[in-house]
Amino acid sequence: MKKLILISGLVLFFLSCEAPKLKIGMILPQEGPASIYGNSALKGTNLAIEQLKDKEFFGKSLEFVIRDNRGLPDLTKEIMLSFGEDKDVICVIGPVISRNAFISASVSQKYSLPVLSPTATHPLVTKIGDFVFRVTFTDSIQGAILAKFVYEKLNKKKVAILYEANDPYSEVLSRNFEISLKNLGGEIVTSEFFLEQDTVFYSKLDKISSLNPEVLFLPVYANYVPLIIKQALEIKFTPVFVGGDGWYSEDLIENNKDVFKKVTAYISSPFTPDLPSNKVKDFVKKYKEKYGEVPDFASALAYDAVNIVYEVFKRMKEPERMELVNNLKGFEFEGVTGKISFKKGKDPLKDVFIIRVLPEGFKYFMTIHPE
């Protein structure tokens, strides 16, 4: 009887003793409007994780703790607080949109918890504290590059802007584009805004159309793009449409092929799947084999984010949060989204790709180097 009790106790002991883990928290929206980016980012994440399985550091296996914030600021804060309290969580990858990245940045400072956002572009996200980095470019760089593209490459001088009020991404990208275009000598004939729940844009588009702009700049997320362009076509308003990386969603093309047969449209992007690079070709091949589709910018940036953390782990001397931050500073990495360098701070030096939006998909047009 005593022997049975002893054996049972040993079994319970070993069942309760899991192998030590080195945890990486991840915040990716799987529901709500931001889920089009979160779901893509999750696919890129899972592809990277598959390639890192069985890797160990400091005698600990890697564990990726993926949480769905549904794009909600309050839930983002709740998840970040739980990650901050868990001492085994060495860093967090995410969130994917700027309004949630602000929340994670403020919490990260409290817990000295490094955060690496794959896709948040608002310039101030990394200014909140010492622990927030990003993989993509900022809206200040993106806005300036798009203005340069419109003015110098498209040779268009008269531009109108239609943006979403109270959205950090839309407002900042709009403002940086406007300032840059004016500095180049271009003219903003009007800058109009709409609100989050708006679905009817005829009055705004009528006003914009009456001013005869050559370009309509739409610094908005992909869910608004087909609504606005379809209504513009209905009133026979067909300028060149230009947007930022927020347009980049395969669903945008798949569900609106007829729309993009009738307009000329360009966007900026931190990634293009048709870039002539062996690393990109290999990534696209593996992604298509796994998911049956072409990767977009969110999946590629998330893939790079996971691999950046992995490469930084290889340089660390101990599994500590500050050790990871110190090794990220000055770190350089060549990923599927190009060369990424943190030599000048927590915002990477990174090329901007200009993409043509066509019925058959997003097609690489040109590369512009930030000055």
- The model's pTM: 0.80
Q: How far is CA 279 from CA 53, 178, 329, in A?
A: 20, 35, 24
- Predicted confidence (pLDDT) per residue in 97-128, tens digit: 888 999 999 999 999 999 999 999 888 999 98
Residues 6+ apart with CB under 8 A from 156: 150, 186, 214, 215, 240
Domains 13-136+277-350 and 140-269 equal at CATH topology level: yes
Q: How confident is the model at residue 18 (pLDDT cuts 50, 70, 90)?
A: low
* Element (DSSP H or E) covering residue 132: strand 132-134
pLDDT for 2 beyond 90 = no
pLDDT value for 10:
40
Question: What is the DSSP secondary structure assignment for residue 125, as one 8-state letter?
Answer: G
Instruction: State the average pLDDT over residues 305-316.
Output: 95
Q: How confident is the model at residue 16 (pLDDT cuts 50, 70, 90)?
A: very low
pLDDT for 3 beyond 80 = no
pLDDT value for 147:
97
pLDDT value for 207:
98
> How high is the mean pLDDT of the chain?
91
What is the CATH code for 13-136+277-350? 3.40.50.2300
- Predicted confidence (pLDDT) per residue in 252-297, tens digit: 999 999 999 999 999 999 999 998 889 999 999 999 999 999 999 9
pLDDT value for 32:
87
pLDDT for 161 beyond 80 = yes
Q: How confident is the model at residue 1 (pLDDT cuts 50, 70, 90)?
A: very low
Instruction: State the average pLDDT over residues 11-35.
Output: 73
Instruction: State the average pLDDT over residues 330-354.
Output: 91
Tell me the CATH architecture of domain 140-269.
3-Layer(aba) Sandwich (3.40)
Q: Which amino acid is at 29?
A: P
* Element (DSSP H or E) covering residue 187: strand 187-194
Which of 14-18, 30-34, 80-84, 89-93 is least confident?
14-18
**Residue boundaries of the structural domains of the chain:** 13-136+277-350, 140-269
Structure tokens at 48: 């990277």
pLDDT for 323 beyond 50 = yes
pLDDT value for 171:
94
- Cα–Cα distance, 143 to 149 (Å, whole number): 10
Cβ atoms of residues 131 and 113 within 8 Å: yes
pLDDT value for 216:
98
Give the residue, 269 or 4, on which the prediction is more confident: 269
pLDDT for 305 beyond 80 = yes
